[in-house]
Amino acid sequence: MKRISDKFYKLPQKMCKIITFNQGSEFADYKYLESKMHCQAYYCETHSSWQKGINENMNGRLRRYLPSATIIDHITQQDLDLLANKIKLCTRKCLGYKMSEEVFIQQYKSDGRIIWAEFDAIDE
């Protein structure tokens, strides 16, 4: 959880209201994340994919390139980065046919408390 909060703590509070998790043990310390990021953690029930629609939609997008039988250990980090960029650059109907990165940057810049140079530090 510390790694997650370290990545996202610079975001304006309005950009992180709820984080959705599955029942994995890696999310057991969710209270830490809630306190650090001032957001609410929501655990989805097992076999209840409708409770995490955005996650399931993204899984479907990833499966176009990485079928469920794919052995992730056989894929290089460079290939995963290329795939992430390809998906990031897709326009989405739910975002008014804008790219997710474009919407993120607009939201991030609209918060006057943030110095734009800090945006680069988020991805490190």
Listed range (37-41, 51-55, 103-107, 120-124) with the worst mean pLDDT: 120-124
* pLDDT tens-digit readout, 26-75: 778 878 878 877 788 888 888 887 888 887 888 899 999 999 899 989 99
* Number of other CB atoms surrounding residue 37 within 10 Å: 20
Q: Taking the mean position of all CA atoms in its chain, how far away is CA 74?
A: 23
- Give the mean pLDDT of the chain: 80
Containing H/E element for 91?
Answer: strand 91-92
pLDDT grade, residue 122 (50/70/90)? very low
pLDDT grade, residue 111 (50/70/90)? low
The confidence score (pLDDT) of residue 123 equals: 47
pLDDT above 80 for 97:
yes
Buried b / exposed e over 107-118, threshold 16 CB at 10 Å, is: ebeeeeeeeeee
The confidence score (pLDDT) of residue 64 equals: 93
